[in-house]
Amino acid sequence: MTVLEERFSLAAERTGQIPSEGALGNAFDGFFSENAEYLAVMAEEYEWIRKGSLRTADLEELKRHNEICFIDLLGKNYDTSYANPAWAVKCLGEEFGPLLSAVCAELHSLPAFVYEQDLESVVIRMELFLEIYQAFVCAKQEKDSLPERKEIQEIFYWFASDYAETMAEKSVADAVDWERDFAKKIVEESDLSDLRYLFFYGEYIADDQWKMAQHLNSLSGETLQKIADAYTEGFRKGFEVAGKPLEKKKSVNIRYPVGFERMVKLAMENFRKMGLEPILYRAPSSFLEGRSVYKNGYFGAAVNRQFDYDHDDDQALFLDKKFVHRKLECRKNAWETYREKAALHAGPAVIECFGEQPFEPVGKPEKLQLSKEQQKLSVEYRSQAGILSNRYIDPEERSFTIIAFPIPQIGPDFPAIFDEILKINTLDSGLYETIQQRIIDVLDRAQYIRIRGMGDNRTDMKVMLHSLKDSARETNFENCVADVNIPVGEVFTSPVLKGTEGTLHVTSVYLNGLLYRDLELTFLDGMISDYNCKNFEDPKENRKLLEDTVLFHHPSLPLGEFAIGTNTTAYMTARRFDINDKMPILIAEKMGPHFAVGDTCYCHEEDRMTYNPDGKAIIARDNEVSALRREDPQKAYFNCHTDITIPYDELGEVTAVAADGTQYPLIREGRFVLEGAQELNVPFYS
């Protein structure tokens, strides 16, 4: 027996004793007993998998095992789970409730490690729980009281600090090491017609994952190949269009929702023909790895999105300057360990899914929140971690692609919607390229663009453009068709900040998995000067929501992009099936003008000259903030980019205004009026 196996055996034995002890004689016995029982289940699950039972179990047994991993987070069960901060505070009090709720949440990262048979990650969390329990027992025995909250918080702090190196190495290795094959084996070695394979990941499997896999199994090989080809060809074109050397690369990261394995398997074959070895890694489940409401990797069903929201600031328990420096140092060492493989990494190829019911979080005063100082430290870490990543994976030599498909939860029209999205994802790029060039030719005459809403939409924006020194050879707008961002089409630019001003408003918008009502941003010289929405009755809660999920704790963000989406086919598909609120930003940004707050689209690649198909150089690649990259990269980048689209039915006008005041109308009352672009109106009437 190894030392690690012995630690596991001892931890499993000790946790098994806790439920019958009643050592504390107070409400905390309930917390420790319930979580000890969960750990016992996880220990049994680990042994069950180690013995090979996972691969031989029948479907009903697999479903039962999957459910017991997540049962207390599901539906109404979460109301009385200690992972719910509100319940934890009700049972344990304000002093310990939020802290122990965070401990409970961290224990619920275990299914991922159990199924990967990552024994160290299992053991250290069991030992964290036991150390906290022992602190309560000692305080009871020695003082007949509770421990100091600071003592418990320090246990949590040193757990995060002591294992920062382990987690940093795992995170970097997951991103660039193509020899890590847990998920690849599931995709390539499983009989994908036997849907038991879905339960091999250790992700929560709900109806969507099951029905999606069934749907893909029902498609012809030709159709599946068409889907995979559109996806992988977009990635290849991204390198070709940007003039980047794909032949120098050896790996690509595939990010996907569980249930898409038939498509992923074909994509893996396509990438290998390009000389790229696929990397598949799990979206983080632990706060040490960067757990978030935003899934970055492969992922199953969201067990409970309110749970994710309730714990998105759990790092408030340990985030200080010392920890940030420790974590960055660990991350630097991890990148050094994998520097050779990092240099060969080509970037991510992302499959997004959409169709979930829009999630509106419930604000809870009991949830942990970052202090103002911790928010600054969080921003500092994200900035420095981004700089580190770009040091080892050169932005000028990497690319990406993103494609999106609906999931069955979107409704009874799912098969028809899936077919329509497939058509949208494979529209004729050549046609859009021609029309979009006509739009760009007019936009390049302008000093600024005026955008106004209509009806209930209060948008009134003035967006300043860069000056063209040679209009015959230069342009402000990129002619974007179906390469890195599938589907077609849009034209976009990085605006000049000075003079960019006004109000951006949308009545309802779905961003990064959250629904925002009456989202309104005010700009002054291109920077957000005020912000609000109406998700909650309390204005402070609304501002807090935007600070956390749109501004990402920055005091302000610049307008990094202005674009005109031209995919009216996608817009009308959304209207016809009544799924506007479910469309992902990847498609929604093509369904009308959109504004992105944060970094520009050329983030970290501003100095690489980029050209449109007509040969003109795109000169609008940075702004006054990103220009600071030469002096202070920390001030130049924000490591976020959030697109906000005004739908055509809320759009009053888009007008290009020249320096002499001449106006060139492009869109009026939601319809293209520019000569040569009116073909884009056809879907509105068909």
Among residues of the chain, what percentage have pLDDT more than 70? 100
b/e burial code for range 392-408 (CB count within 10 A of at least 16 → b): bbebebbbbbbbbbbbb
Greatest mean pLDDT among 294-298, 536-540, 631-635 lies in 536-540
DSSP state of 396: G
> Is pLDDT at 371 greater than 80 in this prediction?
yes
State which amino acid sits at residue 455.
Answer: G
pLDDT given at position 373: 93
> Is pLDDT at 330 greater than 90 in this prediction?
yes
pLDDT given at position 509: 87
pLDDT: which is higher, 291 or 499:
499
pLDDT: which is higher, 582 or 155:
155
pLDDT: which is higher, 390 or 485:
390
Tokens of 16: 């098994």
Lowest-pLDDT range of 78-82, 481-485, 639-643: 481-485
C-alpha dist (Å) from residue 33 to 22, 137, 149: 8, 13, 20
How confident is the model over 417-444, as pLDDT tens digits?
999 999 999 888 888 899 999 999 999 9
Please report where in the chains the tokens 């074909």 appear, as a residue. 266
Quick check: 645 and 593 in contact, CB under 8 A? yes
pLDDT given at position 379: 85
* Residues in contact with 604: Cβ distance below 8 Å, sequence separation at least 6, in sequence order: 390, 395, 396, 629, 637
Instruction: Please give the span between the terminal C-alpha atoms of the chain, in angstroms, as a whole number.
Output: 70
Q: Which long-range contacts (CB under 8 A, 24 or more apart) does 622-631 make?
A: 622/494, 623/494, 623/495, 623/496, 623/497, 623/526, 623/558, 623/560, 624/496, 624/497, 624/498, 624/526, 624/558, 625/497, 625/558, 626/494, 626/599, 626/600, 626/602, 629/604
C-alpha dist (Å) from residue 380 to 97, 346, 606: 29, 26, 22
Region 317-327 average pLDDT: 93
CA quadruple 153, 155, 158, 159: dihedral positive or negative? Answer: negative
Element (H, E) at 443: helix 429-443
Region 540-568 average pLDDT: 93
Read off the pLDDT band of 621 (50, 70, 90). Answer: very high
State which amino acid sits at residue 437.
Answer: Q
- Distance between CA 62 and CA 483 in Å, rounded? 39
How confident is the model over 113-124, as pLDDT tens digits?
999 999 999 999
3-state SS class at 583: coil
Alpha helices in 26-148 (DSSP H): 28-50, 53-56, 59-70, 85-92, 97-107, 110-115, 119-143
DSSP state of 477: S
* Residues in contact with 363: Cβ distance below 8 Å, sequence separation at least 6, in sequence order: 536, 538, 541, 544, 545
How confident is the model over 585-620, as pLDDT tens digits?
888 889 999 999 999 988 888 888 888 888 899 999
Q: What is the mean pLDDT of the chain?
A: 93
pLDDT given at position 505: 97
> Is pLDDT at 225 greater than 80 in this prediction?
yes
Please report where in the chains the tokens 């905390």 appear, as a residue. 28
| Closest alpha carbon to 587 in 410, 352, 430, 411 | 352
- Distance between CA 564 and CA 446 in Å, rounded? 15
> Is pLDDT at 483 greater than 80 in this prediction?
no
Read off the pLDDT band of 508 (50, 70, 90). Answer: confident
State which amino acid sits at residue 250.
Answer: K
Helices 97-107 and 85-92, packing angle to 10 deg = 130
Region 370-375 average pLDDT: 90
pLDDT given at position 356: 86
Q: Give the Cβ contact number of residue 428 at 10 Å.
A: 12
pLDDT: which is higher, 686 or 317:
317
pLDDT given at position 583: 86
- What is the Rg, in whole angstroms, of the alpha carbon atoms belonging to the chain? 26
> Is pLDDT at 33 greater than 80 in this prediction?
yes
Element (H, E) at 559: strand 559-565
Q: Give the Cβ contact number of residue 193 at 10 Å.
A: 10
> Is pLDDT at 173 greater than 80 in this prediction?
yes
State which amino acid sits at residue 619.
Answer: I
How confident is the model over 645-670, as pLDDT tens digits?
998 999 999 999 999 999 999 999 99
> Is pLDDT at 240 greater than 90 in this prediction?
no
Phi, psi of 338 (to 5 degrees): -110, 25
| Closest alpha carbon to 109 in 59, 167, 176 | 167
| Closest alpha carbon to 257 in 193, 204, 310 | 204
Name residue 672's beta-bridge partners: 667
Quick check: 498 and 464 in contact, CB under 8 A? yes
| Closest alpha carbon to 299 in 385, 417, 416, 212 | 212
pLDDT given at position 202: 97
pLDDT given at position 511: 83
pLDDT given at position 481: 79
- Distance between CA 331 and CA 386 in Å, rounded? 11
Tokens of 209: 């994952």
